[in-house]
Amino acid sequence: MVTQVNGGKEVNDYKIHTAFLAVFILLVPIVIAAPQGESSITISSGDTGGTIGSTSALKSDGASCSAANECTGGFCNSGVCASSAPSTTTPSSSGTSTTTTPSSDTTTTTPTPEPAPTPIPVTPVKETVTKITTVQEIIRSIRPSDLGVTEIKPENVEVTKTGVAETSTPTQVPIVKNIIEKVLTSATEAQAQQVLSGIKQSVSSGSSAPVSVRATLEVFEVKEKTTGQTSHVSRVSLMIKPDKDLKNVNIVEVIPKSVAASISEVIFLGEQPKVLQADPIVQWEFSEVKKDETKDLSYQVNKKLDVLESNTVAVSEAVIAAPEAPSLIYIYIIIGIAAVAVVVYVLYKRKVGLGNFRFSYKRG
């Protein structure tokens, strides 16, 4: 019986293949991620068409130059780099000289601040109010003497909605900051100033984010059936209904003097606010407002309003952005190492099998 060992050549081949495969897998992510390590390039438009080059190629002030786009300062004065254009002296008609400095090729524009929202005019409507709870709330703002009676009874009055206006508070940070600046002029007491200044600072730092609040103005006419006398009530409803959970919600309402001169003229419905200033400025605070939860913050006055003026500042705790995803190079390295480990393991198992592989035969 002759025994023959088979597998030496096959094992050597597998070793070579494994080495090539490992090198290939490790080089692929390095080649793909290589552009991330390249130096940045800048495009300068100092000349027609611009030039492309590295920022390190620009010359400092005092170096020789032939064009402005070669200098870091942006000017080439008589073949020398400079950070400003040369001044020229022009004689004037009065005999004195006037020195002028040419302006740079580039102009810097200061962005115009976003304006605060303008008042929304009331749209006339005519709707009879029949809901008894709404009628009871409306007549709370009316003095009986205004209707010529000693007591106002819901069953003895006719209530008609005569006007409506709607708007939503802006959520752009520049506009919100402008609104805070505007309402701060109405804050004459320390508590109101402190709260508004704190909100402005938190918005500027990014720790708070503006929240959209829908504001609705409804104007009602109330008529006493017996006396025929009428009075008006205007209701402002502020409503928050977020599309995600909010933390540490802070809402400040600065009620214009055209609406109420004092907090005593205002009746708050539902959520009762904290009075920051009797002038009046009020505040609502909520540690949390759940997604799709409704917060109805309403108040009314015994007056007919013609416009809805939004002086609402609403913010919540800013959501911290999720950490950035790891770089592709790290993902490729992990995948490469895992692939190499798998290949080496498989080839090792096959090597063991080939080394132990024998076959025999018998001669006749």
Concatenating the DSSP letter of every residue in 31-77 gives: HHHGGGGSPPEEEE-SSTT-EEEEGGGSBPTTSB-SSGGGBSSSEEE
Neighbours of 274 (CB within 10 A): 12
What's the pLDDT score for residue 40? 38
pLDDT in tens, 161-193: 999 999 998 889 999 999 999 889 989 999 999
**Residue 175: φ, ψ to 5°:** -70, -45
More confident residue, 98 or 203: 203
Report how far residue 50's alpha carbon sits from residue 44's, in angstroms, rounded to the nearest whole number: 5
pLDDT in tens, 31-62: 554 444 444 333 333 333 333 333 445 777 77
* Nearest one of 84, 85, 60, 79 to 71, comparing CA atoms: 60
| Cα pseudo-dihedral 51, 53, 54, 58, rounded to 10 | -50
Are the CB atoms for 342 and 153 separated by under 8 Å? no
More confident residue, 202 or 346: 202
Share of the chain above pLDDT 90, in %: 47
pLDDT (average), residues 273-293: 94
* Nearest one of 204, 214, 224 to 154, comparing CA atoms: 224
Taking 60 as the threshold, does the pLDDT of residue 297 lie above it? yes
Are the CB atoms for 293 and 316 separated by under 8 Å? no
Report how far residue 59's alpha carbon sits from residue 197's, in angstroms, rounded to the nearest whole number: 46
User: What is the helix (H) or strand (E) element at residue 173, kind and residue range?
Assistant: helix 173-184
pLDDT in tens, 17-27: 566 566 666 65
Report how far residue 64's alpha carbon sits from residue 119's, in angstroms, rounded to the nearest whole number: 60
Taking 90 as the threshold, does the pLDDT of residue 263 lie above it? yes
| 280: preceding bond cis by omega (within 30 degrees) | yes
Taking 60 as the threshold, does the pLDDT of residue 245 lie above it? yes
Token pair of 256 as six digits: 């214009």
**CB-based contacts of 358, cutoff 8 Å, min separation 6:** 3, 4, 5, 6
Least-confidence region, from 44-48, 237-241, 252-256:
44-48
Using CB atoms within 10 A of its CB, is residue 227 exposed (0-12), middle (13-18) or buried (19+)?
exposed
SS3 category, 6:
coil
Using pLDDT thresholds of 50, 70 and 90, give the confidence band for residue 150.
very high
Question: Residue holding tokens 């190499």?
Answer: 340
Angle between helices 190-205 and 173-184 (to 10 degrees): 160
What's the pLDDT score for residue 334? 77
Report how far residue 223's alpha carbon sits from residue 146's, in angstroms, rounded to the nearest whole number: 10
Domain positions in the chain are 1-38+334-364, 42-87, 120-317
* Nearest one of 104, 38, 108 to 71, comparing CA atoms: 104
pLDDT in tens, 75-104: 777 777 776 666 544 444 444 444 444 444
Are the CB atoms for 55 and 42 separated by under 8 Å? yes
* Nearest one of 59, 173, 196, 71 to 114, comparing CA atoms: 173
Question: Mean pLDDT for the chain?
Answer: 77
pLDDT (average), residues 120-143: 96
Report how far residue 207's alpha carbon sits from residue 81's, in angstroms, rounded to the nearest whole number: 44
User: What is the helix (H) or strand (E) element at residue 115, kind and residue range?
Assistant: none
- pTM over cut 0.75: no
Angle between helices 328-355 and 8-33 (to 10 degrees): 180
Best-predicted range by mean pLDDT among 181-185, 223-227, 316-320?
A: 223-227
More confident residue, 126 or 41: 126
Taking 70 as the threshold, does the pLDDT of residue 131 lie above it? yes
